[in-house]
Each structure stands twice: as structure tokens, then as C-alpha cells.
Amino acid sequence: MNILVTGGAGLIGSHLCDTLLRDKHYVTVMDNLSFGKHINPRTTFIDKDIRDINSHRISYDIIYHLASLKKVWNGSIRSSDIMDVNYDMTRAIVKKALINKSKLIFASTSDIYGNSKTFLEDEDITMGAPTNIRYSYALSKWHSEQYILNYVTEKKLQATIIRVFGCASPQSSKSWSGGHVPLFIDLALKNQDINIHGDGLQTRSISHAKDIAEGFSNCIEVGNEIINLGTDQETTVKEIAEYIIDKTNSSSKIIYKPKEEVFGDYKEIQRRFANTDKAKQLIDYKVNYTTEQVIDEIIEKWQK
């Protein structure tokens, strides 16, 4: 198949390209390299803003839309931009998919679940107060999901929505945008202190980006569905920091900061795990790496 991957220079996107090429698809990457790095010479690369995709006349059988502005911690991206740009990209991608009769596979996020207890794809979603700008990323994805599903119902768009839980690999960014695991590893290797928000007992689920990419690839034949991808293994943030410090023989210290100092009135998610029952049923989804194996691989690669 002829496949387009927007955001194909990012973490999941780069692994997805490897998987699609392995399966003998022809792969084009469209990415403006705001965050990622194009590392696969076997793909056709287009350095382009996704919002301008409809000036690109080539048709595709499948469009994977992974490009996204994400929540960041250094103030380099405004929350209003996150909502505007993510919606504008989704609208442009939907238009492209409709014109070309392409199947759309959209990367959403587990953030939209908030403090869910079940993480079921069909459960009602409750978001926090709009006075807290940290909800902007989750809201942008939620809005895009609704926009896509409206077109599924009204315009016969073919689309699968994938809600991605935490993942990492040696290709992860070492900043906060890459998540706490690669950030902690980078700090530990530099013997720098690791900051944890609150008591560190909040749980997260971290899988290998290769497993996530495999799940994306296997969704090509799936119908109009919402599917979780990730792992149901839960680890506390504190456990991860301690494990990384031990594995790297680091002199880093763990510094605990009050949640309110970092998040204000944002209700931080206390427990997160990927409920992948539906993915197992629809695409025979498998988790091949434990969180510890993901960490060990990153440490091994980054120590070289």
C-alpha cells in the first residue's frame, strides 16, 4: 500500500515507518521537524507543515496522522497554539482523506481519560475546569476525535482512533516532551538530581514504542473503532526513578516537589494503565517488552 505518516520523524512515527517498510509498504513521511529527526532513508521525506497537506497532490491508501503539538514545560509553545494547530492539522488531514478516499488512522492520547478507573474506550469522559491550561493538549485530541467521528457518521470517512498510553525507546527525546522515563535516564547518566512531583506514588504505564508501532500497523484493516495501545503494567514514578538510579549506578538524588507548586489546581492523574482488552480482540495486540526492559535498552544504548 501507499502510506503517508505525518509526524513520521517522531518517536512512534519513526518506529511505525520501520514496521510498515518491513511489511513491504511504500512509506512517505511528512514532518516539519519541529521535534523529530528524519532517520529512515528508505522513506520518501516531505518537509512540510501538515496544515498545507492539500497542496500535496499525491494520493495515499492509508494516512497515519501522528503529528501533534504536545504539552511542554519550558514555555516554548503556548497552550492556545496547541489547540489551534492540532485542530487545523486534523481538519486538513480529514479533508485530504475524504478527497483521496484514504483510510485515516489517528493518534490520540490516554490523557483524555483523566482520572479514569477503567480506561474503557466507550466510557464517558470527564475533563477538568477550563481555567487550567494543562488540559489544552487533552482537549485538542478529544476535539479531534469528535471531529473525525462526525465525518465517519456524516461523510463516510473511514477512520480508526488510537489512544496511546506512555511509551519510550532509545529514540525518545531526553526532554520532558519525551516523558519521565527518558528524562530520568538522561539525568541519572549525568548524575543530576531527579525531580518528582508529589510523593511519586502516582502510577504510569510505559511500553516500548516498537509495540505501539506494531499496534498502529495492525490497525490497517480495522474498521471505525477507538482502540487503546500500551501496557497494563503499572509502575510508580518513584519506583522508576529508583530503578534507573540503581541500574546506572548514579549519584543522582530524588527531589520531591509539592504538586501544587508545579501543577496549581490541575488534578494530576494518580493511576494510569492501558486497558488493551479491545486491542487484543481486534488486532491480537501483544506487549513484548516490560517497562524494565524498555529502561534497560535505553540505558544500554545511551551509555555507549
> Among all residues, which ones are annotated catalytic?
137
Is residue 199 classed as helix, strand or coil in its secondary structure?
coil
Strand partners, 205: none
Report DSSP state, residue 138: H
Strand partners, 142: none
Please say whether the beta carbons of 181 and 240 come within 8 A. yes
| Of 203, 221, 218, 206, residue with least CA distance to 269 | 203
Q: Which amino acid is at 201?
A: L
Complete DSSP assignment for 218-277: TTTT--S-EEEES----EEHHHHHHHHHHHHT----EEEE-HHHHHTT-----------H
Please say whether the beta carbons of 21 and 43 come within 8 A. yes
